[in-house]
């Protein structure tokens, strides 16, 4: 099986996505969605941005590599009677089922950044977006002090070395790398804009319980715990994550968790 597919199917990302709904809706609010707009949500999960876009009248095609998340997205869209929101399996680095110029707007929020072939992924995003359309990416930033960048940094220190030729997904959070990748796909640098934005995770429980969600359902963290346990270091990993979540929690209610996380928003004009 494709290793990336296996990673994202090993957990249940819907458990984490449930804490991201408000920020997904707010992000879509800023995209200028109009009725009839053709949108592809790449690496869509169960529809954190796809469903709000459809609720604003867009025709949304959600694409994700994980079969369980595609099924979860279909179930959510069906429950909301959103016939204009479909979900299908697909690989961001090879969108063979998607025709050129298929969308007016391609959105990928913490999705395509995890595809293992970044140059192929950039070319595919450009190919399926019509001339005059837009690509909007949300990417975590390497070394950033906020939550997800630190989770991935801590997790990697407990995991075995990556295979030869591995390119960290966090490089999508480096502006120079983004410019180089889209440049290779034919997009000049002056058509690429960057902004630092904030996503908020809202969890109805204390930070320690929120760590349980990452440990039990988020593929990269699950893999880190698997490797740490084999080396007798799972307790140390858990202690680091508990401390991180407690330190970053902004909620004044001890029974709830609110944690902001900074990301790089990339807007490409085709």
pLDDT tens, residue by residue, 249-263:
999 999 999 999 999
19-35: average pLDDT:
96
Distance of alpha carbon 103 from alpha carbon 177, whole angstroms: 24
The reported pLDDT for the residue numbered 162 is 84
The reported pLDDT for the residue numbered 194 is 98
Candidates 1.10.8.60, 3.50.40.10, 3.30.70.3420, 3.40.50.150; correct CATH number of 3-269? 3.40.50.150
pLDDT per residue over 221-250, tens digit each? 999 999 999 999 999 999 999 999 999 999
Half-sphere exposure of 270 (CA within 13 A, CB side): 23
124-144: average pLDDT:
97
* Cβ neighbours of residue 30 closer than 8 Å, sequence gap 6 or more: none
Q: What is the mean pLDDT of the chain?
A: 96
3 falls in which pLDDT band (50, 70, 90)? confident
H helices present in 185-270, as ranges: 207-217, 219-230, 234-248
> Does residue 45 have a pLDDT over 80?
yes
The reported pLDDT for the residue numbered 2 is 86
Q: Are 90 and 66 in contact (CB under 8 A)?
A: no
CB atoms within 10 A of CB 231: 11
The CA–CA distances, whole Å, from 52 to 25, 77, 142, 163, 188 equal: 6, 10, 28, 37, 31
**Residue given tokens 């941005």 in the structure block:** 49
Half-sphere exposure of 205 (CA within 13 A, CB side): 10
Percentage of residues of the chain with pLDDT beyond 90: 94
Strands 85-89 and 103-109, bridge-based pairing: unpaired
Buried b (16+ CB within 10 A) or exposed e, 13-39: bbebbebbeebbbebbeebebeeebbb
Of 94, 96, 90, 56, the residue nearest 73 (C-alpha) = 90
Q: Is the pTM of this model over 0.75?
A: yes
Instruction: Bin 45: left if φ > 0, else alpha if -120 < ψ < 50, else beta.
Output: left
100 falls in which pLDDT band (50, 70, 90)? very high
144-154: average pLDDT:
96
92-117: average pLDDT:
97
pLDDT per residue over 165-215, tens digit each? 889 999 999 999 999 999 999 999 999 999 999 999 999 999 999 999 999
Of 185, 238, 248, the residue nearest 215 (C-alpha) = 238
The reported pLDDT for the residue numbered 154 is 96
CB atoms within 10 A of CB 165: 6
H helices present in 112-248, as ranges: 118-128, 147-158, 175-184, 207-217, 219-230, 234-248
> Does residue 1 have a pLDDT over 80?
no
69 falls in which pLDDT band (50, 70, 90)? very high
Of 9, 77, 81, 6, the residue nearest 46 (C-alpha) = 77
């Amino acid at each position: 099986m494709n290793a990336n597919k296996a990673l994202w199917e090993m957990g249940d990302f819907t458990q984490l996505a449930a804490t991201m709904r408000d920020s997904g809706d707010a992000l879509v609010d800023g995209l200028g969605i109009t009725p009839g707009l053709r949108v592809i949500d790449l690496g869509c999960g169960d529809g954190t941005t796809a469903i709000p876009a459809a609720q604003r009248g867009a025709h949304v095609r959600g694409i994700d590599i994980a079969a369980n998340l595609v099924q979860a997205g279909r179930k959510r869209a069906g429950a909301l009677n959103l016939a204009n929101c479909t979900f299908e399996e697909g690989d961001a680095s090879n969108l063979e089922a998607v025709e050129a110029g298929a969308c007016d707007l391609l959105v990928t929020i913490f999705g395509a950044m995890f595809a293992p072939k970044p140059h192929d992924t950039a070319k595919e995003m450009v190919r399926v977006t019509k001339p005059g359309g837009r690509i909007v990416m949300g990417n975590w930033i390497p070394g950033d002090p906020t939550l997800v960048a630190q989770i991935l940094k801590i997790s990697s220190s407990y995991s075995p070395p990556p295979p030869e030729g591995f390119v960290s997904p966090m490089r999508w959070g480096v502006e120079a790398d983004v410019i180089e990748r889209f440049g290779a796909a034919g997009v000049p640098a002056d058509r690429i804009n960057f902004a630092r934005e904030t996503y908020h995770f809202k969890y109805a429980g204390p930070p320690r319980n929120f760590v349980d969600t990452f440990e039990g359902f988020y593929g990269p963290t699950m893999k880190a715990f698997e490797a740490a346990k084999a080396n007798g270091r799972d307790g140390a990993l858990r202690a680091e994550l508990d401390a991180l979540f407690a330190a970053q929690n902004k909620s004044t209610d001890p029974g709830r968790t609110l944690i902001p996380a900074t990301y790089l928003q990339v807007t490409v004009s085709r």
